[in-house]
Structure 1
Amino acid sequence: MGESSLPSPRQPDSFSLGNAAMRRPATARWPQRRAYAALDLGTNNCRLLIAKPEGDGFVVIDAFSRIVRLGEGLAASGRLSDAAIERAISALSVCAEKLKRRHVTLARSVATEACRRASNGREFIERVYRETGIALDIITAEEEARLAVMGCHALLEPGDGPALVFDIGGGSTELVLVETEGGSPRIVDWLSAPWGVVSLTEHEPEASNPDLATRMEAYARMKQRVHESFASFAARLPTHPGADIRLLGTSGTVTTLASLYLELSSYDRSVIDGLIVPSAAMRKISDRLSRMTLAERQTQPCIGAERADLVVAGCGILEAIIDIWPAERLGVADRGIREGILRRLMARDGKPK
């Protein structure tokens, strides 16, 4: 890729994402405002954005999102299941059609934790290319963290104190400590923890047990598992970061909980992306959801049947994050890896010749 890597989790250092990654040079000319695309195939979701450059940013002209649960059963078998593969290829076929219809000329498609872990991950990637023409790139946890920050850091609250940006995925959770003095975010440390909403749910299925006491015991174990995976990173965090610390989350967990906080009857990105929510309120919602039965969670607006079994794991991960980084407020981002990819593609393509 020709880029510097993230600092080692064991030997924190710092680097800048760089202004060039966030905006095109003022003298650059976009090549006929052509369409760019970013596809993110995660452990739980398949998401696509197609956009055209506009000013210092871009305007989305098409999008697609589908829950495919690619990592379902991966923890037990070490492989992507046949059913999960078929779901993913079905979704990717839709993406391929959109790419053709929108005449996309420059795209990047990435796969994350499920394909990194699965013994048949490469075989799956090859099949996807044969059947859809989409060339998936299995990115490292380091690049996943970088792209997430690049895609959402603009939503960080103003301030001079350190900030923690996190992405709760299906198979992993990325934590990135950044500083923003001088404008461009500087990543000083990071962690990719092996727990996401799918992997954690599969390790603690009793979180949906009909018995309340059993559910609460499972939820406590969830949080403990996550705390243990965060331990080395937490030990490296500033011990007295001050009152100006900031917290920004990008994931289905935080956007769903933010929707419940606003009591929305249906999801509305326009009011969620960039919302600032009291961390205490997110804890309260997490506790309430962990106590509900699966059937009760399914009736909640913005959760439904597709997310009802996974949302509790997301709540446990979120609470563990707030435990180690007790910011008073939580920023909510409905943007991340795909937006990071688009900004990178456009920054490279927009350089003056």
Structure 2
Amino acid sequence: MDKIAVIDIGTNTFHLLVVEVAGEDIQVIHKEKISVMLGKGGISEARITDAAQSRALETLKYFKGKIEEYQVGKVFASATSAMRNAINGKEFVQKVLKETDIKINVISGKEEAQFIHKGVKKAMRIGQKPALIMDIGGGSVEFIVCDEQNIFWLESFEIGAQRLLDKFHKHDPISKIDINNLYGYLEEELKPLLNELKNWNPHELIGSSGTFDTLVDMAYARKNKAKPNNNSFSLGLDEFQLLFDEIIHKNREERMAIPGMIEMRVDMIVVAICLIQFLLQHHEFNVIQVSTYALKEGVLEAIIQKEITV
């Protein structure tokens, strides 16, 4: 019987997942996420600010306490966009090791996409036709064209929600000029993706966790329905459009009042939904599926399958 802890050091959010594995049986012992905002104030200058480092260290020390409390034998910590692009990233990795004894593995964008694919596959059946998985992080966005068995194409783009927020969300509510500037930027940055969509013609968009989870929460709240404890959900295109129209016309305070909205998502959700809307305008999808599993579940699967040595 193994106890495994997976730490996902994201650009916005830090996740801790602790499980007990006995053969095929996986029991979640502890799971939580903390809004750390590692990229805040520095991501556009490719650095991690002192304030962000303090928040990160405090959170990782807390995670370390949980790992010791549950007497976990195997720990794997991965860091993504903010850390891999920061000029002081390596220095901070060393600082974390010294102060917490947590070894951070800074993963590439393509490795991140592969782990996300593994996580989504654990949450839901992708099917035999090509689908597009999309994971909107704070620093990067991963896209994977795949079916149940194969990855046909994957790429990580450094256009995450914190970066887009810094560059384009100049007014609140966001202005038409802001949105047009954002769409013009995406038109250039996402050319490789748009070409692959023409090649593979996926009709299912699978959103991985994060923003998509919040959109599902808001959709259930709008219908006054209790959200079931599932690993995957469907979000109708009409439901998405209603949420899009509501969110972009509201300022921060008004967005916060929308049932289902959470504090850690309220700022970045505007540019995130604009990114989804951009995709829907450029390619015909029939449905949006949402996987509650993402990177950390993919990393866990790779550890269990001994693809990662811990």
Same fold (TM over 0.5): yes
Query: Within the alignment, does 1:88 sit opposite 2:48 as a pair?
Result: no
User: Which residue does the alignment assign to 1:153?
Assistant: 121
CA distance in 2 between partners of 1:305 and 1:107 (Å): 29
Match of 1:228 among 158, 170, 188: 188
User: Which residue does the alignment assign to 1:330?
Assistant: 288
CA distance in 2 between partners of 1:336 and 1:312 (Å): 21
CA distance in 1 between partners of 2:73 and 2:126 (Å): 36
2:57–2:96 Cα contact (<8 Å) kept: yes
Query: Within the alignment, does 1:218 sit opposite 2:174 as a pair?
Result: no
Describe the superposition over 1:106-144 as per-residue Cα deviations: whole angstroms up to 9, x where unpaired: 121000000111100011111111111111110000110
User: Which residue does the alignment assign to 2:197?
Assistant: 237
How far is the alpha carbon of 1:264 from its aligned partner?
6.5
Match of 2:299 among 327, 332, 341: 341
Identity of matched residues, %: 25
CA distance in 1 between partners of 2:105 and 2:200 (Å): 39
CA distance in 2 between partners of 1:55 and 1:75 (Å): 41
2:236–2:288 Cα contact (<8 Å) kept: yes
Q: Secondary structure at the match of 1:344?
A: helix
CA distance in 2 between partners of 1:124 and 1:318 (Å): 33
User: Which residue does the alignment assign to 1:16?
Assistant: none
User: Which residue does the alignment assign to 1:206?
Assistant: 170
Q: 5 Å matches for 1:87-126?
A: 87-126=55-94
Q: Secondary structure at the match of 2:119?
A: helix
User: Which residue does the alignment assign to 1:5?
Assistant: none
Q: Secondary structure at the match of 1:284?
A: helix
Describe the superposition over 1:36-66 as per-residue Cα deviations: whole angstroms up to 9, x where unpaired: 1111001000001000125535221011210
Q: 5 Å matches for 1:1-353?
A: 33-54=1-22, 56=24, 58-157=26-125, 159-180=127-148, 185-209=149-173, 215-239=175-199, 241=201, 245-263=203-221, 270-271=228-229, 273-348=231-306
Tell me the matched-pair count.
309
Describe the superposition over 1:201-255 as per-residue Cα deviations: whole angstroms up to 9, x where unpaired: 011232425xxxx62321232233223221122112345737xx32211131111
Unaligned runs of 5+ in 2: none
Describe the superposition over 1:77-106 as per-residue Cα deviations: whole angstroms up to 9, x where unpaired: 321101111111111111111111111111
TM-score calculated relative to the size of structure 1? 0.81
CA-based RMSD = 2.5
Distance change in 2, residues 1:202/1:240 (3 Å): closer
User: Which residue does the alignment assign to 1:25?
Assistant: none
How far is the alpha carbon of 1:305 from its aligned partner?
3.7
CA distance in 1 between partners of 2:101 and 2:183 (Å): 40
> Aligned partner of 1:316: which letter?
C
1:152–1:336 Cα contact (<8 Å) kept: yes
CA distance in 2 between partners of 1:334 and 1:165 (Å): 12
1:274–1:332 Cα contact (<8 Å) kept: yes
Q: Secondary structure at the match of 1:208?
A: coil
How far is the alpha carbon of 1:265 from its aligned partner?
10
> Aligned partner of 1:261: which letter?
A
CA distance in 2 between partners of 1:286 and 1:272 (Å): 24
How far is the alpha carbon of 1:190 from its aligned partner?
1.2
Distance change in 2, residues 1:268/1:345 (3 Å): farther
How far is the alpha carbon of 1:271 from its aligned partner?
3.9
TM-score calculated relative to the size of structure 2? 0.91
1:40–1:47 Cα contact (<8 Å) kept: yes
Q: Secondary structure at the match of 2:298?
A: helix
Name the structure, 1 or 2, with higher relative contact order (CA <8 Å, separation 6+).
Answer: 1
How far is the alpha carbon of 1:256 from its aligned partner?
0.6
Q: Which of the pair has more CA radius of gyration?
A: 1
How far is the alpha carbon of 1:200 from its aligned partner?
0.6
Distance change in 2, residues 1:126/1:194 (3 Å): same
CA distance in 1 between partners of 2:245 and 2:154 (Å): 27
> Aligned partner of 1:306: which letter?
M
1:272–1:333 Cα contact (<8 Å) kept: no
